[in-house]
Structure 1
Amino acid sequence: MSKKVLIITYYWPPAGGPGVQRWLKFVKYLPQFDVEPIVYIPENSNYPLVDDSLESEIPKGITILKQPIKEPYRLAKLFSKKSSKTISKGIIPEEKEQSLLEKFMLFVRGNFFIPDARVGWVKPSVKFLSEYIQTENIETIITTGPPHSLHLIGLQLKNRLNIKWLADFRDPWTTIGYHKALKLTKWSANKHKLLEKRVLNTADRIIVTSEVTKNEFEELTNKPIEVITNGYDDESTVDFQMDEKFTLAHIGSLLSKRNPENLWEVLAELINEDADFSKDFQLNLVGAVSENVKNSLKKSTLSDYVNEVGYVSHKESIVFQKKSQLLLLIEIDSEDTQCIIPGKLFEYMISNRPIIALGPNGSDVEKIIKETNTGQYFYYSDYGSLKNTILQYYDAYKNKGIQSYPIGLQKYHRKALTQSLSKLL
């Protein structure tokens, strides 16, 4: 008989973006390991990104439970539709660029909705799920955050029913980069830390996506912590033709602080020094781009070389990954982001295109790229080595074409990762 597991998640198709992929894929493969997943989601959620194509990937026959949720961002739209949508996507303007309304919205978000704007869903969810769990004889629940308010659902269900509970952290809680931008009072900051510690010390097991987060959480709890990264899945065949231009493509959101000015300077210098490079080069930005990044590109005289595509469906993003000459991965240059492993990294890795990544020293991303031979990793202080690497790729592009020689990718397949999860269950 299959083991029933209740998965409590906010992001689920038609939600777009990276947050939905992790548990959509786990749910796809869990039945192959004798686990029956039951998914609990909001009924009327206000997703910042929507990708209707992902609904076709929901496995048939899966039990999906829904309960209404009150979304504060709907109310915020009455004041400023643009600001509420931008902040809900995680694109927070630099302090000096924030309007008074944006500063007010961030203060309200950080201090009146702890741990996040979905906290109002906790109480009705606990009431509904308490009855469902007992009726259906479910022995194990999984909560996944962010939003970390979903862990409070797990916390209360654990205290009520003494059920086995696994808390999955796709991102850290109080050390994630945007947390500092929420204009928290001292009381609010302490409240976040208290809730984080309570969750970490009450759950039966913690799941994280990086070694850095594991090390961080081990300072807060003695509960067992397992690293299960994100990964890649078998994608349906897509029709594409390699870009004729020497394209460098970034897929995903480019936040204000995710702005590698050293890279823009390198590209501008190569354009000025080499007429052929100037004629061949194109920077494709596929996803939301902050005004801060746009201004930096303009300042570096790169605007004429930028193809700003905007948000596309997951299937369309796969096409961009496969047809681009090089793939760009950028993370904020901060100790707080050492633990961040973007979900798109793993899809980049199987696209057969080399990766140029920029991020902080000590990042888990750096280790994975070097281990799998899927590209080159640079720090924000690098300049000469970054320029030389791009030139080497450009020479390869002009001659026999750019090649990629990845190794050891199999352990990052979604099925292999789901097998690791099934062992915890």
Structure 2
Amino acid sequence: MKILIIAFDVAPLDLISSQRVNYFISYFHGQGYEVDVLTSKKRFIDGPINDVVSYNELIKKANFIEIPSTISKQDIDIVSDHSVNEYRTSNLRSILKKFKAYLTRFTGQMLDYRTIWAFNSIKYIQNSELYYDVILTSSLPACVNWVGWHIKKKNNKVLWIADFRDLWTLNHLVEYSFFSKKIDSFLEKKFISKADLITTVSQDLAAKMEGFHKKDVLVVRNGFVPEEYKSINANYDIFHNKNKINIVYAGNIYRGRRDPTPLFKTIQEHKLEQSVNIHFFGYYLENLKEIINDNDANSYCFFYKPLPRNEMFSILKASDFNLFLESGEDDAKGVMPGKIFELIALGRPIITIGPQDNFESVQLIKSSGLFVGIQKFVEILKMDNPYSFNLKDQTFLENIAGREAQAKKIHQYIGEKMGI
């Protein structure tokens, strides 16, 4: 059985979005599939290229077909030279991200440099004699679905699974104009009309996609691989004052969406400024600095650039509390980022701000025994005795959040369709 996985975000990109694809590669290889991966030749503009270890492991399990995301005819090598000025590159990424968000309001998500990679990939496929039994596309970026649509149009017998770890037109973090949403809606429906199966990460998102595409949607959650977390040692070095409560957040901030303002207001209201330090890790923190200034929180907030994944895990494991932020709007009800599963796997209490009690993210965190609401957090800080939380046992966590059980759903679907 030969499968082609089409994804832009994959190792050596050290992104949480890459972890889902990385696991699919390992899982299908382990099930005896012959795995090809159609991806881009990575450049620092794509994101932090720190996961070279995973990349070196994965190229032993799969044939990586790495296509340039430029119009240049010159070959581009995989980048692993960390002497590149990461600060300057991250600033350029930040500028491009803002520019793309601005363009999306008028043109939709397909006007993206990664669409050049998709175009180059389609040209490569047209000139090749490759044959696959199954293709699996992983969105975003949206352009992977263009590639999947092209392959399916060329060979209608191939089984196409369109995986949406993040939604396209229905994405709650994308700002559209009426016109640009019409463009993306048209393109998404056109491309996905040829998909045999749609998968996404939660029941709520599945319901939205079913309504949008009039197709059945299979829920394939994100998750974690237990073995990855057993050897992680806590690293307390960054904590300036170990007598204070140290809270850690890793990721992007969106004002009004993924926004720590309620936590700052609670700290101010209960005069807890001298009791806590909050450590933020991320590239795009301009919004956060404004929010901190607006809430007079400078004395207890600290900023850091993102770290390689395992180094970040060591700090998250050492924290007193980790912080999970998400929107409380109804359009975020089914949002289940991979970050939730990593925080659960690390086993530290999770202060959860934004999502409502009936959101799937909150229900999952509560089921792990690690959920801490903002009022509970205040109560804990006022306790005389150390707080003990009710972390569920490892078997339970694997059942609710293990990656293997999720990937197995796709494998079973393929088996049913292919008669194996």
TM-score normalized by the length of structure 1:
0.82
The Cα shift of 1:44 comes to 4.4
Contact 2:29–2:61, Cα closer than 8 Å, also in 1: no
1:235 maps onto 2:228 in alignment = yes
Tell me, yes or no, if the aligned pair for 2:149 and 2:192 is still in contact at 8 Å: no
Given the superposition, is the C-alpha separation of residues 160 and 137 from structure 1 closer, same or farther in structure 2, using an over 3 Å criterion? closer
* CA 1:121–1:113: 2 relative to 1, 3 Å: farther
Residue 340 of structure 1 aligns with an amino acid whose one-letter code is V
Corresponding residue for residue 356 of structure 1:
351
Structure 1 stretches of at least 4 aligned residues deviating more than 6 Å after TM superposition: 80-83
Q: Which residue of 2 aligns with 1:41?
A: 39
Q: Quote how far apart the aligned CAs of 1:34 are.
A: 2.5
1:399 aligns to what? 385
**Partner Cα separation in structure 2 for residue 320 and residue 82 of structure 1:** 21
The worse-fitting range, judged by mean Cα deviation, of 214-223 and 312-321 is 214-223
User: Which residue identity lines up with residue 35 of structure 1 in the other structure?
Assistant: Y
**Any residues of structure 2 matched to 1:15-414 within 5 Å, and which?**
15-45=13-43, 47-56=45-54, 58-59=57-58, 60-70=60-70, 85-86=93-94, 88-89=96-97, 92=98, 106-112=101-107, 114-117=109-112, 118-132=114-128, 135-162=129-156, 163-180=158-175, 182=176, 184=177, 186=179, 188-233=180-225, 234-235=227-228, 237-240=231-234, 244=242, 245-257=244-256, 258-270=258-270, 272=271, 277-361=272-356, 362-376=358-372, 386-387=374-375, 389-395=376-382, 399-406=385-392, 408-411=396-399, 412-414=401-403
Q: Deviations over 1:391-419 (max 9, x none)?
A: 333256x5245434125311322222222
Assess if the C-alpha contact under 8 Å between 1:46 and 1:71 holds in 2. Answer: no
**Contact preservation (8 Å) 1:353, 1:404:** no
Call closer, same or farther: CA 1:196–1:336 in 2, change over 3 Å: same
- Alpha-carbon shift at residue 209 of structure 1 (Å): 0.8
Deviation at 1:264, TM superposition (A): 0.9
Deviation at 1:47, TM superposition (A): 4.0
Q: Is the 8 A contact 2:109 2:142 kept in 1?
A: no
Secondary structure of 1:217 counterpart? helix
1:42 counterpart letter in structure 2: S
Instruction: State the Cα distance separating 1:178 from its structure 2 match.
Output: 3.5
SS of equivalent residue, structure 2 residue 47? coil
Mark the runs of 5 or more structure 2 residues left unpaired by the alignment. Answer: 73-87, 415-420
1:321-363 C-alpha deviation (Å, 9 max, x unpaired): 2100111100133222222212111011121211111223342
Aligned partner letter, 2:245: F
Per-residue deviation at 1:168? Answer: 0.5
Q: Which residue of 1 aligns with 2:81?
A: none
User: Are the counterparts in 1 of residues 13 and 51 from structure 2 also a CA contact under 8 Å?
Assistant: no
Letter in 2 for 1:399: N
- Which whole-Å deviations, capped at 9, do the CAs of 1:31-55 have from their partners, x for residues lacking one? 2223232111112445442142353
* CA pair 63-341 structure 1, distance change in 2 beyond 3 A: same
Listed one character per residue, the Cα deviations across residues 370-395 of structure 1 (whole Å, up to 9, x for unaligned) are: 23322135xxxxxxxx23x1133325
Contact 1:232/1:413 (8 A) holds in 2 = yes
The question of whether the paired residues in 2 share the 8 Å contact of 1:260 and 1:358 is answered with: yes
* Percent sequence identity over aligned pairs: 21
Deviation at 1:196, TM superposition (A): 1.5
Q: How well do the aligned residues superpose, as a CA RMSD in angstroms? A: 2.6
- The residue matched to 1:293 in structure 2 has which SS? helix
Cα deviation, residue 112, structure 1: 4.8
Paired residues, what number?
383
**C-alpha distance in 2 between matches for 1:356 and 1:225:** 31
Which letter does structure 2 place at the counterpart of 1:121? W
Measured against aligned partners, the alpha-carbon deviations of 1:283-325 in whole angstroms (never above 9, x if no partner) come to: 1112235333222222322111112122111011111221001
Task: Letter of the 2:389 partner, please give it.
Answer: Q
Shift of 1:202: 1.6
- Retained in 1: the 8 A contact 2:164–2:201? yes
Distance 1:138 1:320 in 2: 42
Question: Matches of 1:131 and 1:71 in 2, distance apart?
Answer: 17
**Aligned mates of 2:116, 2:19 — CA distance in 1:** 24
* Uncovered stretches (5+) of structure 1, i.e. residues with no partner: 73-79, 93-101, 378-385
Work out the CA distance in 2 between the residues paired with 1:168 and 1:44: 22
